[in-house]
Each structure stands twice: as C-alpha cells, then as structure tokens.
Amino acid sequence: MGQRRSAAWVVVGLVAVVLTTMVAGLLPRLASDVVGDPAAAKAAPVAAEVDPSPDRGPGDRADAPPEETPPPAPAGPPERAGKRGTVYLTFDDGPDPRWTPQVLDVLRRHGVHAVFFEVGQNVAAYPDLVARVRAEGHLIGNHTWSHAKLTDLRSRAIRDQLDRTDAALGGRARCVRPPYGATDPRVADVIGARGQRTVLWDVDPEDWAKPGTDRIVRRVLAQVHDGALVLMHDGGGDRSQTVAALEQVITRLQERGYVFGLLDC
C-alpha cells in the first residue's frame, strides 16, 4: 500500500511540473500581444469638456479619446528648438473651414509663418484650405488620419494612419505630431523608420479647453523661452478664443524682442 501511495505522489508531481512548464511558456506569448502602456493610459488626464467624437479611421480604437481630450505632457522640444530669441508657432487639428482661414489671416497680417499639423480626414475634406496654407508660406505636418492615439495602436495601424494622411497631402510629410502627445519608443521607432521626425511642444496654453482669450495669452507669455515651440489649435472645436489670443501673443512676443521662426518640416 505504501509503495502505491508513493507512486501516486510521483505521478502527481510529474503532472504539476508539466503544467508549470506549459504555463511559463505561454505567459510571454500573452504579454507580447499587449500594446501600449496600461499604467500610462491610466495616468492620462481626463477632459473637463468633451465634444462628440467623429467617426474613427482605420486601426483606431472605438474607445480612443475624442479630439478635445487634453494631451499629456510632451517629452520635450524638437531638434530645431533652442535658437536664441526665436519662437515657433504650431497649430493642430485643422484644416477647419471656419477657423483655419482666420488663423491664416492673423499670421499674414503679422508676416509670421507656422507649421500646421493636419488631420488626414480634414485634409481630404478641405483640399483648398491645404492649398492656401502652403501658398502663404506655411508648412504642413502629419497629425494622423483620424486623430488616433498612436500608443493604443499596433505598428501596422500606426503606419496606416500616417500613410493615408501623407497620401491626402500629396507626399510624405517630414514631421509627425502624435495626437495627445501620446508617444513611446515603439511609436517613435515606427515614425523614424519612415524618415519622419516626431515633433512635440514645450509651451501649451491649453487653448483646446477654451479658458478665455486673456488666459491663453498669459499662459504663453509665462511659459515662453528662447526656442519655444508653442502648441495651439485651428480645428477640433470652437477656436474663436485662439484666434483672438493669437493677435495678442504675436504682438506681445514681438514687443519682448522675439522673432518667429519656421521649423524644418
């Protein structure tokens, strides 16, 4: 009887070893299917005000944040930032048939140029606005096809977002700005492998939240520095405050001795 019990325990032990080995081999495969950083996603801020989300494009998650979700803090300025006495203006989420022309009018009155990071769906919808942006000496960057959060997408879906936008623009943009500033080493590698640069920002007046014209101006003036890269918006919602603030931002910065440069995009 004792020998039979010993044999039974040996069999149980062998089965346990086999099961443990199988589970250990399966775990890495499961982990490799997880895309993005769940901890970072939980840490992302929540918008106090959200507009209805538009239809999403290829590869985008159905529960991705809408366009007016505030971006997380960017990782840092692009390579060109840092030139003494120079400020770089950038605008996201256009072109918009109401607000982009008004932003362009302000820039033209002041002789200032900027980079417009445009959403592919809007580019396809308003090609005449894209043509005007270029005709007036501004540059255009890729802001994905559907304002997708790239850290939530697989690499193939990221490339699809960028490819469709570049096709709508008529050629590959030199610079990409990930919506919400959502990037990580994998996203940066996908963008870099295409010969494109990731461009973020280091001055954010949070004009997307419509805090009031005066507050937008004060925030820019408080954060500005040599080589500052300023984030504002010409699409994705009501941008009347941004348009009004832009007039004052340009004038006040020029009074401080700043000049406006154009990123190499």
Range of the domain at 256: 77-261
Q: How many CB atoms lie within 10 A of CB 113?
A: 17
Q: Which residues are catalytic?
A: 92, 233
Structurally, the chain folds into a number of domains equal to 1
On whether the CB atoms of residues 151 and 36 are closer than 8 A, the answer is yes
Domain-located, residue 125 = yes
What pLDDT is stored for residue 84 in this prediction? 74
Answer left, alpha or beta for residue 210, where phi above 0 means left and psi between -120 and 50 means alpha.
Answer: left
Q: Taking CA 111 as the corner, what is the angle to CA 105 and CA 112, rounded to the nearest 5 degrees?
A: 85
ω into 127 cis (within 30 of 0): no
Query: Which residues neighbour 211 within 8 Å (Cβ) at sequence distance 6 or greater?
Result: 205, 219, 241
Domain-located, residue 83 = yes
CA 132, 107, 91, 88 torsion-angle sign:
positive
Residue 242's H or E segment, with its range, is helix 240-255
Which CATH number characterizes residue 253's domain?
3.20.20.370
- Whole-number Å distance between alpha carbons of 141 and 23: 46
- Whole-number Å distance between alpha carbons of 21 and 246: 63
- Cα dist from 146 to 10, 57, 76, 157, 265, whole Å: 59, 5, 24, 12, 21
Domain-located, residue 234 = yes
- Whole-number Å distance between alpha carbons of 99 and 208: 13
Phi, psi of 233 (to 5 degrees): -135, 140
Domain-located, residue 45 = no
- Whole-number Å distance between alpha carbons of 124 and 118: 10
- Whole-number Å distance between alpha carbons of 140 and 235: 14
What pLDDT is stored for residue 32 in this prediction? 31
Residue 222's H or E segment, with its range, is helix 213-223
What pLDDT is stored for residue 164 in this prediction? 99
Domain-located, residue 17 = no
Token code pair at residue 194? 């295409």
Domain-located, residue 257 = yes
- Whole-number Å distance between alpha carbons of 94 and 72: 20
pLDDT in tens, the chain (265 residues): 444 444 444 444 444 443 444 434 433 333 332 222 333 333 333 222 223 233 333 333 333 333 444 444 443 445 454 567 999 999 999 999 999 999 999 999 999 999 999 999 999 999 999 999 999 999 999 999 999 999 999 999 999 999 999 999 999 999 999 999 999 999 999 999 999 999 999 999 999 999 999 999 999 999 999 999 999 999 999 999 999 999 999 999 999 999 999 999 9
The pTM (predicted TM-score) of the whole model is: 0.72
- Whole-number Å distance between alpha carbons of 52 and 97: 18
Domain-located, residue 32 = no
Cα of 187 vs its chain's centroid, Å: 11
Domain-located, residue 43 = no
On whether the CB atoms of residues 238 and 96 are closer than 8 A, the answer is no
